[in-house]
Amino acid sequence: MKTKIGPKDRIVPLPIVLVVCGTLKRPNIITVGKVGVVASDPPVIGISIRKTRYSLELIRANGEFSLNTPSSGQCTQTDYCGIVSGRDCDKITAIGMTPLQGSCISAPILEECPYNLECRVLREIDLGDWVLFLAEVLETLVDEDKLLDPVTGRVDVEKIDPIVYLGSTDEYRRLGEVVGRGFQEGRRLVRE
Amino acid sequence: MKTKIGPKDRIVPLPIVLVVCGTLKRPNIITVGKVGVVASDPPVIGISIRKTRYSLELIRANGEFSLNTPSSGQCTQTDYCGIVSGRDCDKITAIGMTPLQGSCISAPILEECPYNLECRVLREIDLGDWVLFLAEVLETLVDEDKLLDPVTGRVDVEKIDPIVYLGSTDEYRRLGEVVGRGFQEGRRLVRE
């Protein structure tokens, strides 16, 4: 039996990222849980920012931002950047992270985050209190010690150790055990 | 030191959901990893569907779909629904799930998935090979045995036991341990 609990803005689980906008000299950082991949070839991601946030103006100003994946050990910093406003303080300094010049955008990336996407806004969609930015991923950067797996050629997610966000319970979690392999697991159900 | 690995359509981690479209008599199901929350008040979610997929026509036909969160024990079914096309077979029957009449949309929900969102399309955005549907969440349904926590009034994510998807390594994972609390963890960095 199903029970109605009203319309919720919750998908479980969600990623959570640190979006850096502005410039290397005047960067700002904001925590974003309203984030997802929307297309491939070229890769396009979406982030939604509340209209009251300072970062909205900065993203509009130069049309670029970086999307930085924090590790599970960085959840205090991640949470903090969602609580306070860059209008009132220098959040990057407060959390002890280092803005680095990106490879192809004016907004910096975060040195301490192991996985960084450099993004350029393609379009902006008005959703009432929120603005959805659709942005092309121009480059991906990873830490040298988190280089691609030499066998699979893929990023080692174990070393990224990303945060899994659960809005329903306001929890930050780590990744749990592997329960299946994509594009393999389902083959056993395919009738020959 | 950061190393460039080229533009990637990867955010780590991602949610993964079973989208059901069509009607109770002729439903279809598709696995979607390009999914996210884009607004609150009212809640709006986004899903991207490749233009070649059968589900695209069905979603356009009635403008409604349900978003069903599978549990970690359902990753074989979840993977399968991303591999085969509903043009060729009845996927819901093949995976042994039951379409149920939703509470306010014509597309059914999946009985066996513990957490279901009923969605109505607000707009469609063309992204080349992909179409992004932005849809309002009209209702959320949960299993009776996964009712809201009586203390917090929130959905018990432990009982949902959702799949965490990692595109970089094509892994389905379970949730790991709690490493922090949202809107609490960061307060220790706020200067009084």
Q: What is the pLDDT of residues B113-157, one digit of tens each?
A: 999 999 999 999 999 999 999 999 999 999 877 677 777 777 888
- Judged on CB neighbours under 10 Å (0-12, 13-18, 19+), B143 is middle
Tell me what the mean pLDDT of segment B97-110 comes to. Answer: 97
Residues 6 or more apart in contact with residue B99 via CB below 8 angstroms: B20, B24, B27, B92, B108, B109, B110, B111
Tell me whether residues A179 and B75 touch, CB distance under 8 A: yes
Tell me whether residues B11 and A72 touch, CB distance under 8 A: no
Give B192 to chain A, closest Cα distance, Å: 12
**Distances in whole angstroms, Cα of residue B11 to Cα of each of A14, A36, A152, A173, B100:** 10, 7, 18, 16, 32
Give B46 to chain A, closest Cα distance, Å: 8
Domain borders along chain B are 14-189
The CA distance from A55 to B157, in Å, is: 31
Residues of chain A contacting residue B130, judged by C-beta atoms under 8 Å apart: 38-40, 44
- String of DSSP letters for B68-97: EE-BGGGHHHHHHHHHS-TTTS-HHHHTT-
Tell me what the mean pLDDT of segment B90-114 comes to. Answer: 96
Residues of chain B contacting residue A110, judged by C-beta atoms under 8 Å apart: none
pLDDT-wise least confident of A58-72, A95-109, A139-153: A139-153
Partner-chain residue, chosen from A37, A125, A177, that has the shortest CB–CB distance to B11: A37
Give the residue from chain B lying closest to A159, CA to CA: B12
**Mutate: best of B1, B2, B16, B29, partner A, most A CBs <10 A:** B2
- Judged on CB neighbours under 10 Å (0-12, 13-18, 19+), A155 is buried
| Residue contacts between A and B (CB atoms, under 8 Å) | 382
Question: DSSP alpha helices (H): ranges in B84-131?
Answer: 91-94
Tell me what the mean pLDDT of segment A37-49 comes to. Answer: 97
Residues 6 or more apart in contact with residue A149 via CB below 8 angstroms: A155, A156
Tell me what the mean pLDDT of segment B152-164 comes to. Answer: 88
DSSP code of B34? S
3-state helix, strand, coil in chain B (%, to 5): 20, 45, 40
Partner-chain residue, chosen from A89, A137, A181, that has the shortest CB–CB distance to B7: A137
Which pLDDT does position A192 carry in this prediction?
57
Partner-chain residue, chosen from B117, B170, B188, that has the shortest CB–CB distance to A181: B170
The CA distance from B158 to B181, in Å, is: 15
- φ, ψ dihedrals at A76, nearest 5°: -65, -45
Tell me whether residues A139 and B7 touch, CB distance under 8 A: yes
Encoded tokens for A154: 């893929």
Residue in this structure with the two tokens 């991923």, named with its chain if needed: A137
- ipTM of this complex prediction, to 2 decimal places: 0.95
Tell me what the mean pLDDT of segment A139-164 comes to. Answer: 84
- φ, ψ dihedrals at B79, nearest 5°: -65, -45
Which pLDDT does position A152 carry in this prediction?
74
pLDDT band at B105 (very low <50, low <70, confident <90, very high): very high
What residue type is assigned to position B54 of the chain?
Y
Give per-residue pLDDT as tens, B3-56: 999 999 999 999 999 999 999 999 999 999 999 999 999 999 999 999 999 999
Partner-chain residue, chosen from B41, B76, B136, that has the shortest CB–CB distance to A188: B76
Residue in this structure with the two tokens 């549907």, named with its chain if needed: B133
Give the residue from chain A lying closest to B173, CA to CA: A178
pTM: 0.96
Tell me what the mean pLDDT of segment A182-189 comes to. Answer: 93
Residues B35, B83: contact at Cβ < 8 Å? Answer: no
Which pLDDT does position B192 carry in this prediction?
57
Tell me whether residues B38 and A34 touch, CB distance under 8 A: yes
Annotation: CATH topology of B14-189: Pnp Oxidase; Chain A (2.30.110)
The CA distance from A10 to B18, in Å, is: 15
The CA distance from A7 to A5, in Å, is: 7
Residues A137, A118: contact at Cβ < 8 Å? Answer: yes
The CA distance from A187 to A182, in Å, is: 10
Tell me whether residues A169 and B189 touch, CB distance under 8 A: no
pLDDT band at A170 (very low <50, low <70, confident <90, very high): very high
**Distances in whole angstroms, Cα of residue B156 to Cα of each of B36, B142, B162, B174, B175:** 20, 10, 11, 15, 13
Distance of CA A187 to the CA centre of its chain: 31
Partner-chain residue, chosen from A173, A180, A183, that has the shortest CB–CB distance to B83: A183
Which pLDDT does position B168 carry in this prediction?
84
- More confident call, B168 vs A139: A139
